[in-house]
C-alpha cells in the first residue's frame, strides 16, 4: 500500500494543477496523439506512453477477466496515477471518456428502435435494448477501480480533482464526472451507510478527522473538541463499510433546555455541562461533509432523520429539534440586492437609517455594522439588518428555491425559518458572512411534509416572527 502515502502527498499537486487556467488550445486530439510518433509541445505523455496507458486501462476493463483480476490490474494503475502529475491525469481522464464510452452506432440503433416501438411490449423490449446500449466499458473500468483496498477513495479524490478545475475546463470532462456521480449515488445509498456515534473514547485517528473536516466552526484544539464531545453533546456520522475510518458526513448536537441563540456558550470550554434531565431541545449546530468528490450525492437529509430517531430513543423528553446555522450568502446578497430591499422601507424608516448609517444604501448599512455586538435591541441599524436578513431568508428565491445554500438544505428537509439571532457568531468568519447573524431552522416533526409542500409551491415556510420582520 505504498501508493497510498504517495496519493496523499500528490493531492496538493493535483489541486495546484487544477488551478492552471485554460486548457491548451493547441493540444492535438487524443486520436492523433495515439497514432503519432513524437510528443508535441506541452503534452504530458508521449504517444508511446499514451498507448501503453490505454493498454493498461483496457486490461482493467476487459470483460473476459473476473472482477478480482481486473481489480488487481486497477491497483497497478492506481500506483501509476499516484506518481503521475496533474497533466498526465488529464490524459487518463480523456482516455476514459473517449475510448471507453458507449458504442455510438449501437446506441443510435437502440434509440431508433425505441422511437419506432408501437406496442407496450415492443416499447418494453426496446427500452431494455436501449439500457444495454447505454452501458459502456467505462462503467466496468471505474467499477474495477473500486475493487482493491483504497479504490473508493481513489475514485472520490479523482472526482474532487475534476471539480477543482475552472468551470470552463470542467466541461471537457463532464462525461466522466457524470458517470462517477451516477456510480457514487448507488454505492453510497443511505441504505448501505452506517450511523455511528462519535465520542471522546473514539479512536484518536477518527477524532483527528473531525478536526480536519469541520467546515462550519473550526475546531481550535483538542480541548475544544473534548468540549464538543462532552456529556451534554452528541456527534454522529455516516460511514461506508469500505471507508470505515472516515465519516462521509457528521453532525454536532447540543442538548439544551431551550433554543440556542449564540455560538459562544456552545463553544465555551469553561462552561458546565447542561443538565440532561432538563434537556428538551436538540440543537444541530454543525454539519460537515468530508468528501468533495461526493458532491451531488445527498445523504445529509437522511442523517438528520436518523439522528432525530436515535436521540429520541436515548432522550424521550426531547420535544424540539432545531439548528443554529450560519447565513453564508447574506453579505454578498446585501451588496448586490440590498438597495432594492431598503427602498421598500417607509419614509420614517429611511430617515432613521440615514441618520444612523449616513445614508440609505446597503453599502452604507454594512459599513455602519462593523461592531454588531455593541448595538442595542432598539438600534435602527440592528433592526434594519434583521429586516434584510429576514427578507433574504424568507422571501428571496431563484427558480423557486431559497437563495442561501444552508437554507436550501434545511428547508428542503422540511424545516422552517424560525428565528434570527443577533451577534450570534462574532468570529471573523461570522462577521464576514453575515455581520454576526445566525438563524434557527426548526424541524417540527409533525409539519415536515407541510413545509416541503409549501416549498414545492415556491413559498418559504417561516415563523410568525420572521414574517413580521419581513414586513419591516
Q: Name the residues annotated as catalytic.
A: 325, 410
Can you list the positions of beta strands (E) in 264-415? 281-289, 320-323, 397-398, 401-402
Q: Number of helices (H) and strands (E), helices first, in the chain? A: 23, 9
| Residue 362, all three cell numbers | 446597503
Distance CA 248, CA 292 (A): 10
C-alpha dihedral sign at 84, 87, 89, 92: negative
All three cell numbers of 134: 447505454
Grid cell, residue 333, equals 446578497
Query: Around Cβ 77, how many Cβ atoms within 10 Å?
Result: 19
Dihedral sign, Cα of residue 163, residue 165, residue 170, residue 176:
negative
3-state secondary structure of 107: helix
What is the β-pairing status of strands 233-239 and 249-256?
Answer: antiparallel
H or E element in which residue 143 lies: helix 137-145
Residue 141's nearest CA partner among 182, 179, 170, 197 is: 179
H/E element, 252: strand 249-256
Label the pairing between strands 281-289 and 233-239.
unpaired
With vertex at residue 379, the alpha carbon angle to CA 378 and CA 385, rounded to the nearest 5 degrees, is 110
Which residues lie closer than 8 Å to 184 by C-beta, 6 or more apart? 155, 156, 159, 293, 294, 296, 297
DSSP code of residue 46: -
Q: Which three cell numbers stand for residue 10?
A: 500528490
Amino acid at each position: 500500500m505504498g501508493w497510498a502515502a504517495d496519493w496523499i502527498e500528490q493531492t496538493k499537486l493535483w489541486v495546484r494543477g487544477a488551478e492552471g487556467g485554460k486548457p491548451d488550445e493547441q493540444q492535438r486530439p487524443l486520436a492523433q496523439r495515439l497514432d503519432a510518433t513524437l510528443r508535441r509541445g506541452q503534452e504530458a505523455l508521449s504517444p508511446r506512453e499514451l498507448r501503453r496507458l490505454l493498454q493498461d486501462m483496457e486490461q482493467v476493463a476487459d470483460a473476459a477477466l473476473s472482477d478480482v483480476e481486473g481489480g488487481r490490474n486497477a491497483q497497478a494503475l492506481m500506483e501509476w496515477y499516484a506518481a503521475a502529475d496533474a497533466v498526465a491525469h488529464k490524459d487518463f481522464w480523456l482516455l476514459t471518456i473517449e475510448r471507453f464510452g458507449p458504442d455510438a452506432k449501437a446506441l443510435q440503433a437502440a434509440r431508433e428502435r425505441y422511437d419506432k416501438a408501437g406496442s407496450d411490449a415492443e416499447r418494453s423490449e426496446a427500452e431494455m435494448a436501449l439500457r444495454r446500449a447505454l452501458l459502456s466499458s467505462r462503467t466496468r473500468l471505474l467499477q474495477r477501480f473500486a475493487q482493491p483496498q483504497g479504490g473508493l477513495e481513489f475514485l472520490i479524490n479523482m472526482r474532487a480533482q475534476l471539480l477543482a478545475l475552472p468551470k470552463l475546463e470542467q466541461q471537457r470532462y463532464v462525461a466522466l464526472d457524470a458517470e462517477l456521480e451516477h456510480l457514487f449515488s448507488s454505492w453510497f445509498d443511505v441504505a448501505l451507510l452506517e450511523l455511528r456515534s462519535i465520542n471522546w473514547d473514539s479512536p484518536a485517528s477518527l477524532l483527528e478527522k473531525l478536526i480536519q473536516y469541520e467546515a462550519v466552526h473550526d475546531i481550535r484544539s483538542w480541548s475544544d473538541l473534548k468540549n464538543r464531545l462532552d456529556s451534554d453533546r452528541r456527534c454522529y456520522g455516516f460511514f461506508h463499510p469500505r471507508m470505515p475510518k472516515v465519516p462521509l458526513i457528521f453532525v454536532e448536537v447540543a442538548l439544551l433546555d431551550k433554543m440556542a441563540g449564540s455560538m459562544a456558550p456552545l463553544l465555551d470550554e469553561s462552561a458546565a455541562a447542561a443538565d440532561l434531565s432538563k434537556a428538551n431541545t436538540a440543537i444541530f449546530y454543525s454539519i460537515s461533509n468530508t468528501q468533495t468528490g461526493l458532491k451531488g450525492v445527498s445523504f445529509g437529509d437522511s442523517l438528520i432523520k436518523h439522528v432525530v430517531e436515535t436521540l429520541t430513543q436515548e432522550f424521550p423528553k426531547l420535544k424540539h429539534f432545531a439548528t443554529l446555522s450560519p447565513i453564508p450568502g447574506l453579505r454578498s446578497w446585501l451588496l448586490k440586492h440590498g438597495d432594492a430591499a431598503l427602498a421598500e422601507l417607509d419614509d420614517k424608516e429611511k430617515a432613521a437609517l440615514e441618520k444612523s448609517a449616513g445614508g440609505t444604501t446597503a453599502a452604507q448599512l454594512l459599513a455602519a455594522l462593523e461592531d454588531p455586538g455593541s448595538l442595542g435591541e432598539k438600534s435602527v441599524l440592528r433592526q434594519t439588518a434583521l429586516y434584510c436578513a429576514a427578507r433574504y431568508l424568507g422571501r428571496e428565491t431563484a427558480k423557486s428555491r431559497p437563495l442561501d445554500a444552508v437554507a436550501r438544505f434545511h428547508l428542503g428537509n422540511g424545516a422552517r425559518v424560525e428565528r434570527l439571532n443577533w451577534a450570534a457568531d462574532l468570529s471573523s468568519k461570522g462577521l464576514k458572512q453575515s455581520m454576526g447573524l445566525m438563524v434557527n431552522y426548526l424541524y417540527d416533526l409533525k409539519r415536515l411534509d407541510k413545509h416541503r409542500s409549501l416549498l414545492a409551491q415556491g413559498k418559504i415556510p417561516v415563523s410568525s416572527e420572521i414574517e413580521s420582520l419581513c414586513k419591516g
